Structures are given as structure tokens and as C-alpha cells.
Structure 1
Amino acid sequence: MIRCLLWLTLLFAGGAQAHQASEAYVIYRVDGTQVQQRLDVALRDLDRDLALDADGDGALSWGEVRTRWPDIERLAADGLQFTADGVACTSLDRPTPQLEEHSDGTYAVLIRHWHCPSPVQALVLDYRLFAQTDAAHRGLARLEGSPGEPLVLVPGAGPRRLHAAEGRGLGGFIVEGVGHIAGGLDHVLFLVTLLLVAVFRRDGAVWQPRDGARSVLAETLKLVTAFTLAHSVTLGLAAGGFIDPPAAAVESLIALTVLLAALDNLRPFVPGPRWVMVAMFGLVHGVGFAGPLKDLGLRGGALVLPLLGFNVGVELGQLAVVALLLPPALLMRGQPIYRRGIVPVLSAGVAALAGVWCLERALGWQLLG
């Protein structure tokens, strides 16, 4: 059990950047025989495959991106192809170099126009972007003006049909929500810090083991419920465009919540029931969860099913973390090695990593590779 916890922590600590899911956004506009394709790709993903950072300073300048624009075009053309009702269309132009800020960073925007032999009824997409270099990458595709949910595109998974009359993608967004938790180290480590001491009760400035499993389960239920309800509220508000705080500020605050929770593990200092702190911090995490949905630009009814699926996926990911960590913590809560060794060591490690994230995100530094 001890080995399981230690290996899990090493796995989490191996990632330098948290909450950096790899996603590209594809939007089609169809007007009779004319098709406009817009592909937004994160510069961090392009830099990984194309080594755009020529001077190695850790920051991409406009000049570095513009110089390599032909390579970006080729990568995009190889990674995304489509047919209209089974027939290839003719390209009318080449993408003009341009960038746009998304909720999680800067993206290259590639817009192309196509002419098809006959009025378009459906598009069939063959998506292979980053198939060889990032197994976790996903494309999110939608047809402008369509009531259907966006398609989640898995690189190399084969052709997918995009049709205005078809609503789909709920299952894909559930998977996307699970993946967002699995790939978001900051969110996972926040849950880990909570679960480490969910088996304890606060006695002044120290932690003492809870008496029985029922007490532990009741405390865990309070924490998970508070976090779920809080982040669900802000996830919906942010995804729907009702709130839009700066992404850098949100990411910095998320890192700060991880830091404070870890420090509270080492020596309890947060007043009141811990679920109150978790609920307040959950409001911040919910805004961070909303990035992939917000960048799709969905509003109203078109947002309902993607939001539901994504949130269900997030909850399933959280439950997986609980199922993995709570049983060994419950069994070991009374052992000195757990209370005096595992909990302080893991909490101190999480606090150190979260402190680095705070500096990176607040000051724009690059301290970790």
C-alpha cells in the first residue's frame, strides 16, 4: 500500500506542466458548394513537433512562428483532411499566418476555403494531427450553425462524419472530462491532498486518526460533494460565457489552492470545517475545467449536452482517484509511518511543486522543463 502511494506521487510529480490538455479546434462553415475550414492549433503542440523556438529562450515570438508557417501548413494539411459526401473538394487559397489567444494559451489559426462539386450535405473528417507524438491529443470539431454537439476526434481513429442534422458527442465529452482530470496534475494533486487527511480529524494544530470507516467515508463524501457542487457552478457559468476571468489569474489561483491545501496537511491552519475551504477552492477549479468547452464558443441549447457529458467525465475521474487512494489511506490511518512519514512527505512534495506553479503562472517564468 505504501509503495502504491509513493509510485502514484512519483507519477504525478513527473509532469512539469499541469492542466495543459492537448486540444485543437475545428470549425466548418458550409454555404452550398463552398466550405470554410478553420483549424486552431496550440503553439505549444506545434513547437513540440516542429521546434519553432529557434533561439531556445522558452518563448515563441511572432517572427519565429511566421518563419515556419509553411511547415505549420504542411503539418495541418497532413493532419486534417475531409471529403464532402465522399467527394474531394478543391482548395481555393492558403491560410494567412495569424494567431489567437485561447483560454489555455496562444494558438495558430489556419483558415482555408474550398469549392466542392455539388452542394454539401455532410463532411467526413480524417483526423491524424499529432497521432505519432501525443496519444492524448484530441480535436474538437463542429459545424457552424449546427444544433449537434461537437465531435471529439481521436487522431488516427478513422473517418468521422459531421452532419448538421446529427447530434452526437456526449460519450466523447464524458471521455474528454475523464481525460481532463487525468491530464490535469493540479486538479488531481488537489484531490490527493484532501484524501490524504480525510482519514484524520483535526485536534487543535495536529491531525488524529478517525475512529472508524463510517467517519472517514462521511468526511470524504462531504469533501467530494462540496468540490463537485462548487466547480459545477463555475464550470457552467464560464463555459456559457457568463464569467470570463483572465486565464493566467485562474491558473495561478488553482496552483495557490493546491499549495494551501498541502500546507494545511502539514499543520492545520484553515479555520472551520474543511469542506467549506474545499467548496471555495472548487469555485476556482470549475473555471479552469471550462477551458475546452469555452473555446468551442457554444451557447444556449448547443452547450447543454457537451457540458453534461464533460462534467460527468470530470466526476468519474474524481471518483477513480478516490477509489485508488482512500482504501489504503483508511487501512493505514492509525500507523505511525502513515501519519508521520507518508502524509508529511507527500504533502511537502505537493506544496513544493504547487509553489513552483504559482511562480511560473503569476510571473510568467519557466522553471520546470
Structure 2
Amino acid sequence: MARFLGLLIATLSVCLQAVLAQNAFSGAVGFGAIATGGNSGSTVHVTNLADSGTGSFRDAVSGSNRNIVFDVAGYIVLKSAVSLSSSITINGQTAPGGGIGLMGAEISASGKSNIIIRNLRMRQGTMDSDTGKSAFNMGDAKNVILDHCSFAYGQFDSIDAVGAVNITVSNSIIAFPIGQQFGAHVETGPSTFYGNLWVSAHNRQPLSKDNTQYVNNIVYNYQAAYTSANTGGYFSHDIINNYFIAGPSTSSAGDDYYQMDNKQSVYATGNFLDSNKDGALNGAAANSVGSAVVLSKPWASTSLGLATNSAAAAVTSVLANAGATPRDEVDTFAVNTVKSYGKSGTIYKSQADTGLSNGGYGTLTATSTKKRAVQFAV
């Protein structure tokens, strides 16, 4: 009965998604694509890199119905967590020069709704003394889409989505979590993870205690990758055309699917595992998912339509296009680590351990020159 009710709820959610217009932006996919953001509200400019005050990012996100653009580039060094308002769109692609990033504290959409974030770098790191916070937190939020974002150095999780409803994380880089060394934790859902690059995490890539679409993701140098957990409850998972690649920190390549018990129902096809760490991409099919119940077709009617790339083609596409643009030092390091195909990679305890500039956070060019036009591949 519990499994039947779960599938019924999932089916109704998919039907609702099909009925509602995908308002987020052209090319938006998945359950979070229904987010309306602040596209119909007022345009607010971020004009400086200050932590707070007039013209700051913190001030810009303090009100609802806002379409936020950036007149400056560089890192905003946060002294404390930033709480977003509902019904906002954050257009990181409008920043000039090297783009915009936030470092040193959590970005929180907890309890909020209808949020669109694109082309934003969120890097918490050890500058944040609160180890119980994450790089991005959307607990109990609904209708959220994160696209072409770059997450790094999350302490509790890179992305925390406990209690979140209708979320998408697409075309993003989720790399080098520290502290717990976890990628993403999702409960409630449904959620869509599409075209993301996951690099050097202990576990939770993601932890899916919800009905999930997981399509065209690349997971590198994991200790455990796609996870549900034995206490997760009854959920359905469409796992399609993903590539799991073992690295130096991978003690058991067979943990590409982890804690997937018979409470889980899984449609898995087109997935590959490269387990030999030989410096070449040469994996084999990997579609046996623990003791989960095998579904003969996807639970979500839109999942197969998302799978436009094979697993191998997804590697090429994701390595070329995922994350915020233009590629900065941290994301370039993450991508080059993956391109070693088993030869390099470490699960870090601190951003400083990467040896990158600016204490490991990398350097973004700070400028207020003319904005650049960015076209995203999705």
C-alpha cells in the first residue's frame, strides 16, 4: 500500500508538472522548471561587492518579486549566511569580467518559493565557522531551479534540500565538499538532477529520499555515489545515461549505487561505470541497482525526454558546459581532475588543501565594465 501511494503521488506530481507552464527560462527542465522567480517584478542591480548595505547582494535579495542583475564582478565575501526572499531571479550571467561568486557563508532559500538562480558560484569553505550549514540550503522550499551554478567547499552538504518540493539542479558543478564531505541531501521532492558534474565527495551524490530524476550526470572520485539510505522510505528513481568514474579516493567502485534496498523502485538504463582508474574513459554498463525493485519503464513521463545524450556523450558535454561561465580557477581544477579518469583526485578537508589561489577559493576578476552576453547550452 505504501509503495502504491508513493507511485500515485509521483504520477500526480508529473501530471501537474506537465499542465503547468515551464516559466523559469527557455530550456529549463525538470520539476523546478515551474519556478516563476522574480521575472515579472522589479529589476534590482547589485552595484558593489560589499557584504551588506545599499547596492549589495544581501540587500538585493531581501525583497520578493525581484529580478537581480550584477553590475560588478568578483567575490562577495560574506560575514554571515544570506537568506533569500521568495519570488526572485538571480542572473549571475549578467556580471561582467570573470563573473560573480559568493564565499565564506551559506546561501539559504529555506522555507521560500519560486526561486531561479543561474550562473552563480557558491563556495562556503572554512571561512564559515558554522559547520552545520551548507553551501546552499533550500530546506522546506518549493519550486526552485539552480542552473549553471558552481558549488564548492560545502561543510554540511554542498546542497541541502530536506523537505524541498519541486526542485531542479541542472548543468552545474558540485565539487570538493569538506566537513561531512557530502554532495546533496534531498527529502520530500520530487527532484531533478540533470547534466551535473560531481567531483570528489565521500557520499550523497545525491542522497535521494524522494522521487528523483537523475539523468546525464557525471560522478568522479566518489566513495559512494547515488544513495537512498536504508531509512529513506519508499521512493522511485529514474537513473538514466549517467557515468560513474572511480578515482584515487574510490575504495569500492561498486558503491556507485549505495544503500538501495527493496523499498526503492528504480528504472535504470544507459548508465556506465569506469572502475579501473587507468587514465582512460572505458567503462562498462552498470544498471543493476542493489536490491531495488526494477521498474520496466520510468516512473516520470518526462525522464526519457531529458536523456538526449548517452553516458559517454554526457561526459563530453558536461565537462565542456557545466558550471558558471566563464570558467574560473576552481571549476577548471575540478574539470581537469575528472579528465585524469582515475589518476588524480582527493577528498579534501579544507579549500586551502587544493593549493589554489586566494586560500583555495580561486580568484575572480573584479570589474564593473560592460556586461557580457551569455548563451547557455542546456
Q: TM-score, normalised by structure 2?
A: 0.28
Larger radius of gyration: 1
Q: TM-score, normalised by structure 1?
A: 0.28
